[in-house]
Amino acid sequence: MKKSVQKEYIVIGLGRFGSNVAKQLEANGCRVLAIDKNENRIGQIADYVTLAMCVDVKNEEVLKELGGRNFDGAVISIGHSLDASVLAAIWAKEQGIKQIIAKAYDDMQGKILTKIGVDEIVYPEREMGVHLANNLAFNNLFDAIELTSEYSIADVGTLDSWTGKSLKELKIREKYGVNVIAIKRGGALIINPPADEPTKKNDVFVLLGLNSTLKKIANAFSSQRK
């Protein structure tokens, strides 16, 4: 059997977002080089990644010393310093890194990084704000993940009156126009549950559907619980 090659990533900038990405990549079996100009951040992450280095990306000579490694991807997670993000992105492009992902704080920064050749722009603060707003607006939806501007995946607590009834009997799709793609039961996750699966008390349905429909369901369920 052919042995899989361990992927290698470089994470530049170790704030909350960058450090979490670096740790999770390493936990997922990747090799990670984590760099930041802050020595304290390097000390905090050193035990969680393959290698952590104190590097200022504005120092071109130091960046050149990092060259020559065949990284599968680069995650640029520098603070509000646009020039540092741009320099890091240019360096990553020059190294021929296949996948470059960068954090941006606003559309202008995102556009500049895209022009340089960054493959994907992420807006952590914006996405967390949307996530929180959706959860607040969707009343009893415990969690909601927006897939597009129209569709989301959301967790919704089941009604007591549903206990013992199967998905076929509840007719969720017919009544509400959403799909039950999984059931959370205690610590277990039942993916693609069968139609004859009986609902148990405290089950949480994982629903896929239109944002507008999910909001109506949340409001309807909330009123039924009062």
Query: What string of DSSP letters covers the chain?
Result: -PPPPPPEEEEE--SHHHHHHHHHHHHTT-EEEEEES-HHHHHHHTTTSSEEEE--TT-HHHHHHHTT---SEEEE---S-HHHHHHHHHHHHHTT-SEEEEE-SSHHHHHHHHHHT-SEEE-HHHHHHHHHHHHHHTTTEEEEEESSSSEEEEEEEPPGGGTT-BHHHHTHHHHHS-EEEEEEETTEEEES--TTPBP-TT-EEEEEEEHHHHHHHHHHHHHHH-
Question: Which residues are bridge partners to 133 per DSSP?
Answer: none
Q: Please tell me the distance from the alpha carbon of residue 54 to that of residue 43, in angstroms, as a whole number.
A: 9
Which of 40-44, 91-95, 104-108, 214-218 comes out lowest in average pLDDT?
Answer: 214-218
User: What's the CATH architecture for 127-225?
Assistant: 2-Layer Sandwich (3.30)
**According to the model, what pLDDT value does residue 127 have?**
76
Higher pLDDT, 80 or 19: 19
Model pTM score: 0.68
**According to the model, what pLDDT value does residue 128 have?**
79
**According to the model, what pLDDT value does residue 158 have?**
81
**According to the model, what pLDDT value does residue 105 have?**
87
Domain with CATH 3.40.50.720 in the chain: 8-122
**According to the model, what pLDDT value does residue 151 have?**
87
pLDDT reading at 3 higher than 60: no
Mean pLDDT (the chain, rounded): 86
Q: Please tell me the distance from the alpha carbon of residue 197 to that of residue 194, in angstroms, as a whole number.
A: 5
Q: Answer whether 70's CB lies under 8 Å from 92's CB.
A: no
The CATH code that applies to domain 8-122 is: 3.40.50.720
Report the percent of the chain where pLDDT is more than 70: 90
Domain with CATH 3.30.70.1450 in the chain: 127-225
139-168 residue pLDDT tens: 555 567 778 878 888 888 887 888 899 999
10-22 residue pLDDT tens: 999 999 999 999 9
86-104 residue pLDDT tens: 999 999 998 999 899 999 9
Provide the token pair at 216. 């109506």
pLDDT-based confidence at residue 223 (cuts at 50, 70, 90): low
pLDDT-based confidence at residue 216 (cuts at 50, 70, 90): confident
Higher pLDDT, 137 or 205: 205
Phi, psi of 47 (to 5 degrees): -80, -5
Higher pLDDT, 36 or 225: 36
Biggest CA pair distance of the chain:
68
- Tell me the C-alpha to C-alpha distance, in Å, between residue 110 and each of 65, 85, 102, 193: 27, 10, 8, 40
